[in-house]
A and B are shown apart, each in its own frame.
Chain A
């Protein structure tokens, strides 16, 4: 077999395959690749094409810059390899093996010639292969059986492959003159089938004939001959061997989870919050304990976050004690936390609501359901100030429940009892009373509603007598908790007057027996005062008997109203306090008094001439006119009532004489603004008309001091009077001689103050035991302000005799 180097070398431009096996025919150069299908090859007859190229690269100078092959094959095995290659390719051709189609696909890229191994006989095949890919695949295919492959054969092809990669085609190369030499490869024997036909004339003919004859004889003798035995054979079945393998049981666990919406939400959020919270948790831990393990840090933030302590098994013995300590710290912290306190606060309110629910319903004037099993609405969670809507909502929800059984509590009278036939006399029904241990020993001196929140009540506790002076108290009570006040302000002296501001609703002004006026901010629960008149040089020297915040116009019509704190005290001064600050600001500033009005009260000698004033008479009460804020009344210790004006601070406009003792209270009628009421130590209550200096009507139904009076905000005819032994409700449209309702006090208690509730038909009465009782006015004849003129009808007849 001619060796692989029978081919002549070429200097070629294009990449060419150097096939090292010979062929019979000349190979033609194909600058292109064509891809005949394996089926289309004329396997036996096609002229083979062989190409044999040696790839050599020459640069322009003619230097041989052929890249050296990386692999140098051994020539000898190459020949055998070739045959094997041929054989394989033969078989592959025949069967259409994998290699050829595979390589066919790759020929499209490569340009190159194909050289076909050819058979020894005339059979030849035409296979066009791609240059490297096909040989590569063939070689690979050859390598796969693994048995016949010798790398030697592949080497030239490998070399070819390498060289091809490095060749570049340049423009000039295209125009070059190319010399191509063709050679013939050696003969490849592909198949050798020796003939089985012999000529008769050859020398072997006789022998062959004889042998043929013998064979025929044998065939004839075969059946029935003992020498021919049929024998069957069975292939050996391999003995089957069973092999069993047993593995450990795979433990399966079922885990199911019900995915809830909040679970998804939480997981999503914690994945974002996790890095920060972990840092916080570990920091918190570092503060508490100095030494802590890493696992400890993990355990306790988890405890803080989700509320479940997961004891890690590592910490069994050592850390357990520390865990307990931490828990103790935790409990201390929780018990002290603001959150806990607030929840206790709510809880208390919930309980109070449970306890007082029927009473509160009555207060709100809902029809009282006598069912103790009434289901309540949602618990109260609102802050102290905005309570009203929540209460009503709860009550409404409750009212929709149906009744089941009568309450055995006798104190509740259902309004359904009211029959239309007979007139039920009006009564006062006690609902509850604001009291606690703290206020037990004190005397209620004054009460005031908050201007904004009509359920917030301020009560001042202090004694009236000089002898009984002790520390006073000002408490703010809320409707939602009748058993403990919301705010407790301790005052150094007895509280004698207090009032809520209108412009700044959280300011509470308190006047004391010592003459000091302080202003508290009820939003804070400590007793620090916003303003204190102690340092003021012009402070009162006597007890402040009444305080009021009064608004008046600044002068321009429709302009902002200015609010001033007005006080009257026993040193004879009615003082206006100016809280110097920006509007709405609650900065701590001094109270500055801008204008002080001094009253020169005439000594009660003759009453006719206004002599020079030498001393001040003690003022006890005052009241500004509801419509004309320039005008006000002042009651004094002498029993006189003066009508004064703000514009004139030296003289009175009018003086009303009628009382024989100190006037404790004056009150303008809020509807008919010409009349006013006054009460005094002389057991009487007098109704005046401002034009007349003598009393219009006198109501003397008690034999004790009348401490307090108040007009009802709902009716022009109704007012309440608190004398020591009883509280009376007068209705002038019904009777001017007797009160319509009287309520006696407990023997040891004395009623000292009254207050009407604005949003409901209730009356609050304070007594000397520190209790403020809430009474519901039942069956009182309702009257509207449209009947205001009727009041003048009522008092008209009384006027005439006087108006002379």
Chain B
């Protein structure tokens, strides 16, 4: 059987585990952070505490606090129309940048990208 498991050049090849290994998640996160125009990546836990962020604390907390109410409103709107539906991605595009939110049960993912760069 051919081996294909050399982790050369930072690519993580998954083994026979079900689900991604931590390194793959890290790798993807790093790639996202490096992508063109990305200003910030925040991962928030259900308690509202950011568990990962590449921006300074003040800004992070500010974003988290503001986005929560927005997500609640958006979710309420979507579910009022059809309760079986639910919010999957919320994108707020402004003049300067775009904020992409992925609200989930266990976490909240916020990415801020500058689109003009």
Q: How long is the Cα–Cα vector from A340 to B15 in the complex, in angstroms? A: 18
A350 in contact with B91 (CB, 8 Å): yes
Closest beta carbon of chain B to A780's beta carbon, Å:
30
Q: How long is the Cα–Cα vector from A379 to B111 in the complex, in angstroms? A: 13
B31 in contact with A483 (CB, 8 Å): yes
Q: How long is the Cα–Cα vector from A307 to B76 in the complex, in angstroms? A: 16
Closest beta carbon of chain B to A460's beta carbon, Å:
14
Which of A180-188, A329-337, A589-597, A657-665 is near enough to bind chain B? Answer: A329-337
Name which residue of chain A comes closest to B5, CB basis. A527
Closest beta carbon of chain B to A633's beta carbon, Å:
31
Q: How long is the Cα–Cα vector from A336 to B24 in the complex, in angstroms? A: 9
Given A308-B46, A355-B36, A376-B91, decide whether A262 and B79 contact each other with a Cβ distance below 8 A.
yes
Closest beta carbon of chain B to A243's beta carbon, Å:
54
A264, A308, A351, A532 pick with most chain B CB within 10 angstroms: A351
Interface string of B75-87 (1 = CB under 8 A from A): 0100111011000
- Which residues on the A side are within 8 Å of B84 (C-beta)? 265
Which of A307, A343, A484, A491 touches B46 (beta carbons < 8 Å)? Answer: A307
Closest beta carbon of chain B to A471's beta carbon, Å:
7
Which of A331, A340, A373 touches B25 (beta carbons < 8 Å)? Answer: A340
Closest beta carbon of chain B to A411's beta carbon, Å:
14
- Which residues on the B side are within 8 Å of A518 (C-beta)? 2
Given A379-B91, A532-B2, decide whether A347 and B111 contact each other with a Cβ distance below 8 A.
yes
Within 8 A of A (CB), among B1-54: 1-6, 8-11, 13-16, 18-22, 24-25, 28-29, 31-32, 35-38, 43, 45-47, 49, 51-52
Q: Does B115 touch A at the CB level, under 8 Å?
A: yes
Q: Does A749 touch B at the CB level, under 8 Å?
A: no
Interface string of A696-731 (1 = CB under 8 A from B): 000000000000000000000000000000000000
B80 in contact with A350 (CB, 8 Å): no
Q: How long is the Cα–Cα vector from A338 to B89 in the complex, in angstroms? A: 17
Name which residue of chain B comes closest to A380, CB basis. B89
Q: Does A341 touch B at the CB level, under 8 Å?
A: yes
A354 in contact with B98 (CB, 8 Å): yes
B2, B8, B29 pick with most chain A CB within 10 angstroms: B2
Q: Does A132 touch B at the CB level, under 8 Å?
A: no
Q: Does A84 touch B at the CB level, under 8 Å?
A: no
Q: How long is the Cα–Cα vector from A490 to B8 in the complex, in angstroms? A: 9
B35 in contact with A351 (CB, 8 Å): yes
Given A261-B79, A351-B38, A376-B91, decide whether A339 and B47 contact each other with a Cβ distance below 8 A.
no
Q: Does A260 touch B at the CB level, under 8 Å?
A: yes
A529 in contact with B95 (CB, 8 Å): no
Name which residue of chain B comes closest to A372, CB basis. B116
Q: Does B100 touch A at the CB level, under 8 Å?
A: yes
- Count, chain A residues at interface, CB 8 A: 61
B47 in contact with A309 (CB, 8 Å): yes
- Which residues on the B side are within 8 Å of A385 (C-beta)? none
Which of A327, A350, A492 touches B89 (beta carbons < 8 Å)? Answer: A350
Q: Does A325 touch B at the CB level, under 8 Å?
A: no
Q: How long is the Cα–Cα vector from A262 to B8 in the complex, in angstroms? A: 49
Closest beta carbon of chain A to B50's beta carbon, Å:
10
B35 in contact with A355 (CB, 8 Å): yes
Which of B14, B43, B45 touches A327 (beta carbons < 8 Å)? Answer: B45
A526 in contact with B106 (CB, 8 Å): no
Which of A339, A340, A354, A489 touches B4 (beta carbons < 8 Å)? Answer: A489
Q: Does B88 touch A at the CB level, under 8 Å?
A: yes
Closest beta carbon of chain A to B20's beta carbon, Å:
4
Closest beta carbon of chain B to A324's beta carbon, Å:
10
Q: How long is the Cα–Cα vector from A437 to B88 in the complex, in angstroms? A: 31
Given A331-B51, A351-B113, A381-B89, decide whether A340 and B11 contact each other with a Cβ distance below 8 A.
no
Which of A348, A350, A526 touches B28 (beta carbons < 8 Å)? Answer: A348
Which of B15, B18, B28, B88 touches A344 (beta carbons < 8 Å)? Answer: B28
B22 in contact with A262 (CB, 8 Å): no
A526 in contact with B2 (CB, 8 Å): no
Q: Does A266 touch B at the CB level, under 8 Å?
A: yes
- Which residues on the B side are within 8 Å of A347 (C-beta)? 32, 100, 102, 109, 111
Q: How long is the Cα–Cα vector from A313 to B43 in the complex, in angstroms? A: 28
Closest beta carbon of chain B to A368's beta carbon, Å:
16
A355 in contact with B37 (CB, 8 Å): yes
B107 in contact with A340 (CB, 8 Å): yes
B19 in contact with A336 (CB, 8 Å): yes
A336 in contact with B25 (CB, 8 Å): yes
- Which residues on the B side are within 8 Å of A438 (C-beta)? 8-11
Closest beta carbon of chain A to B102's beta carbon, Å:
5
Q: How long is the Cα–Cα vector from A346 to B90 in the complex, in angstroms? A: 12
Closest beta carbon of chain B to A313's beta carbon, Å:
17
A346 in contact with B115 (CB, 8 Å): no
- Which residues on the B side are within 8 Å of A307 (C-beta)? 46, 105-106
Closest beta carbon of chain A to B43's beta carbon, Å:
7
Which of B21, B24, B35 touches A483 (beta carbons < 8 Å)? Answer: B35
- Which residues on the A side are within 8 Å of B1 (C-beta)? 528-529, 532
B4 in contact with A491 (CB, 8 Å): yes
Q: Which 7 A-B pairs have the closest CB atoms?
A: A527-B4, A262-B79, A265-B83, A307-B46, A379-B89, A341-B20, A262-B83
Chain A to chain B contacts (Cβ below 8 Å), 5 pairs? A338-B18, A343-B104, A350-B111, A526-B15, A528-B2
Give me 16 other A-B pairs in contact (C-beta within 8 A), A378-B91, A532-B2 excluded. Answer: A262-B79, A262-B83, A305-B105, A334-B45, A337-B19, A337-B106, A344-B109, A347-B102, A348-B35, A351-B32, A355-B37, A381-B88, A438-B9, A488-B13, A490-B13, A528-B2
Mark A residues whose CB is within 8 Å of B: 260-262, 264-266, 303-309, 327, 330-331, 333-341, 343-348, 350-352, 354-355, 372-373, 375-376, 378-379, 381, 437-438, 471, 483-484, 488-492, 518, 525-529, 532, 534
